[in-house]
Amino acid sequence: MRIVIVGTGKVGTTLAEQLSMEDHDIFVIDQNQTTVDHLVNTLDIMGVCGNGASYQVLLEAEVQKADLLVACTSHDEINLLCCLVAKKLGAQNTIARVRNPEYSDQLVFMRDELGLSMSINPERAAASELYKLLKFPSALQIETFSNKRVEMAEIKLREDSVLDNVYLRDLHKTYKGKALICSVQRGNQITIPGGNFMLKSGDKINVVARADDMYDFFSSLGRTLPEARDVMLVGGGRISFYLARMLTENGASVKIIDIDPKRCAELSRLLPHAMIICGDGTDQELLSEEGIDTMDAVVALTGFDEENIILALYAQSATDAKIITKINRPSLAAIAESTGLGSIISPRVLTANIIVRYVRSMQNSMGSNIETLHRLMGGAVEALEFRVNDTFPQTHVPLMHLRLKPNILIACISRSGQTIIPGGRDYISVGDRVIVIAAGEHFDDLSDILAEDV
Would you write out the chain's pLDDT as a tens digit for each of its 454 residues?
899 999 999 899 999 998 998 889 999 999 999 999 999 999 989 999 999 999 999 999 999 999 999 999 999 999 999 999 999 999 999 999 988 877 766 777 777 777 788 888 889 999 998 998 898 888 888 888 887 889 899 988 888 888 899 999 888 887 777 889 999 999 889 999 988 999 999 899 999 998 888 888 888 877 667 789 999 999 999 999 999 999 999 999 999 999 999 999 999 999 999 999 999 998 999 999 999 999 999 999 999 999 999 999 999 999 888 999 999 887 888 788 777 777 889 988 888 888 888 887 776 644 457 788 888 887 789 899 998 988 889 999 999 999 999 999 999 999 988 899 998 899 999 999 999 999 877 787 888 899 876 4
Question: Which of 417, 415, 451 lies closest to 434, judged by CA?
Answer: 415
**Domain 2-120 indexed as CATH 2.40.40.20:** no
CATH 3.30.70.1450 occupies which residues in the chain? 127-221, 350-449
Query: For the structural domain made of 350-449, what CATH number should be given?
Result: 3.30.70.1450
> How many Cα atoms within 13 Å fall on the side-chain side of residue 444?
15
Superfamily (CATH) of domain 230-345: NAD(P)-binding Rossmann-like Domain (3.40.50.720)
Numbers of helices and strands, H then E, in the chain: 14, 22
- The type of residue at 312 is A
> Class of 127-221 per CATH?
alpha beta
- The type of residue at 56 is Q
Q: Give the Cα separation of 429 and 427 in Å (integer).
A: 7
Q: Give the Cα separation of 114 and 87 in Å (integer).
A: 8
CATH 3.40.50.720 occupies which residues in the chain? 2-120, 230-345
